[in-house]
Amino acid sequence: MSKKIRMGRLFNYNSDKTFLLPIDHGITLGPIKGINSYCDTVKLAASGGVDAVIAHKGTIKKLIEENIYGSYSYIMHLSASTALSPYSEKKVLVTQVEEALTYGVDGISIHVNLGGEDEAQMLKDFGYVSNECEKWGIPLLAMMYAKGAENDPNTTSHLIKVAQEMGADIVKISYNGDLANLEDCISNTGIHTVLAGGNYSNNVKGLLTRIDQAITYGFSGVAIGRNIFQSNHIQQLAKMISSILNSEETLEACLKKVEELGNDYF
């Protein structure tokens, strides 16, 4: 029952869609643009309609200490590795589900890379975290990756299926191809699937169009990190994304706003 209540907090009540803001990049990439000022970033993004923020425990601790919380939720990310290591693809667990619960979060997040020599350990960790989430009644988001998956619908569908079989409630995938190729898999597995925003692109029209397409083909929402926190106008961009996800404005109306403001505005 507690998982159902928490899931309800992660999704918009009217649209059943979710707008996630991942800011867990700091451990992996260091102090990239937008991460150092994460308190301001979260306040702006939340005022723009973000439903939940994904972050590591130190970041969530600081945000709560600064009284930055409200109508949105926090999802604690348990996985980590750094770009400084030759084994950066090997994600390890650095926090426990039970500890995360003491922060009052509404969800747990893990990162799983498949297809490499460390796959077995990451699947084992996935299973352990999934069991703990079920025991404590907290939703689990699985960020699923594999080499080449971004351009291969079969591999991406496999990632979605693995997440569903392992007991995740939400799966985040990165995919650059025709989203129509994933529609059947999303429908058949029944797992809430969110589309990752990827690297910062400075192509707001393309981003908004991609989000609109994702909803058309059965996605439950998006997880937009760098394209939000590296934007020059976080709140305005977040508002447009939220409006499209929740059918408050049409894609055409949002694209017209971008045209009037100019793409460089963002």
Q: Give the residue numbers marked as catalytic.
A: 24, 145, 172
CB 72 within 8 A of CB 50: yes
Q: At residue 254, what are phi and psi to the nearest 5 degrees?
A: -70, -40
**Residue 6, Cβ density class (10 Å: 0-12 exposed, 13-18 middle, ≥19 buried):** buried
Q: How far apart are CA 49 and CA 69, in angstroms?
A: 13
Residues in CB range of 23: below 8 A, 6 or more apart: 34, 35, 38, 41, 42, 53, 54, 55, 59, 225, 229
CB 69 within 8 A of CB 53: no
Nearest residue to 171 via CA among 197, 191, 148: 191
CB 74 within 8 A of CB 103: yes
Q: How far apart are CA 97 and CA 31, in angstroms?
A: 26
